[in-house]
Structure 1
């Protein structure tokens, strides 16, 4: 009777340890912030190790994505129980509990411990699900906020462009008249020529603003975009040669037809490739891949520059935002590209080009 009482007491102690562990893990998962996952897993592994039948002899390992948490001394030649972590039904990691094979047999693990391991893996999976949902919500929120800002900026820039067009035309016109009147005054003519050049530059900025705000009239036609892209790249060959940059252009088909404004498509390619050249190191490489899909045509332009810093990621398509030194850029190139692509019902995104650089991905819908 005494022996039976000891067995029951031992079993009761094990159940209390398991329930305590489960309570602690549930509390930790609901208490920890979603971005502090490594510390959370460390705490879970500590609690799980204490809940095992022989905690001093056991090791606990939790693997998720790119990092691993181990509590206790991991033994390669071990017997173990394992449970998969499956957020949204996809395996993202595992929880393992093991003993040395030299000291223990498979009977060392209790059935209740296997159930406990499955429950903890499920709890971690739930945490990862909440984390992923939260991250997607944050991305969506930022995209909506950014779209709202760009809409307001588009309206403002359209108004500015219209307001500036008339005075700029007047400046150019009257300066040309003055230049004719003072053609015998060499110094005066040179000064007036500077005024004309500045006014022409300003007019080009206004034109870019109108592109950004989609105020420029479009000439839409179904064309083979391969010819347009080849022509644009051909015109940029001196820019490639200047920095000894190699370039590769790959098409999924010889003929890829798309309903676009030819001039605006050329401007998109020009701006993106010139940016890629600017940020590429000497002797670098730029790859352009044009792929026709079922519903879209995708253009990928990748460089080997320094890449887009996270702090600039949300702003690169905003007008007048630039990371170039003063005098090297107006900050309108990518905003013009964004405006043109938006007016074609397309999208533009960017991502890192590993090991270094940036990939811009333009997607036009097929009509």
Structure 2
């Protein structure tokens, strides 16, 4: 190699090994990234081997389990309303709530057993009590709560055994809040992203939804003169349900996305409209008890009952959607790992 073979751009007719120039003086300059540059790496797709989802989606029957969630909440809150009506001398309101609690918990148990397939499977869950298992604790709650509600309703209808009926009503009221909210803990304890990420607020959402439903039942079945506690419960329950749900969606982040898609979105919009409208009508019925007769409270009660049911079905279907899409499992895991690394 002679001096004439060397140019300012390198060595002519030479292989660019160790003698090749680098940096800004090479023949081929480095390309800087510009705003219009298109990435050659495809956007990540979250999937697992053989195209199967990372999580197995819930195999529960929607009508059975979503109905079980709804009816259990209605029963638990109705027991509180029944105790309040009995303590304040509102017999029709108390009877309506007692009958509602007994009927709702019976139907809830029937839906659960139907989903399990055989009644023996529910009985088997009572063989042990495992405090760390929401399913085990919930099974024992149902086993103790259901006979109390039936006894309270039977004593009230028969007009006999008043002391035993009062004791059963009080017992059901004590256990009722746990029955109304333990299903929130139950679904939040699963790996389903939308349910699991909302574990902080889900019990409050279910508590407000249960109170709204029980208040709706009271408004439908009790005369306006005795429906004062139901009207107040309707307003407080609706405020708790809607407020806690909005907070849950904001804190849940990406896992809340299924609530804004497809069937869950439709059900959620219906739940919000029915619950807010029912609470407003309930408050209005209290101010004008004589002008609208029974029409306004009954309409408010029906809206609250339907809104609570729509919310439970929206939560159920959103959880199924989040389990089917690997994105809702992988992305939050990566975010937590990045945050832990920082």
**TM-score, normalised by the number of residues in structure 2:** 0.27
User: Between Structure 1 and Structure 2, whose CA radius of gyration is higher?
Assistant: 1
**TM-score, normalised by the number of residues in structure 1:** 0.25
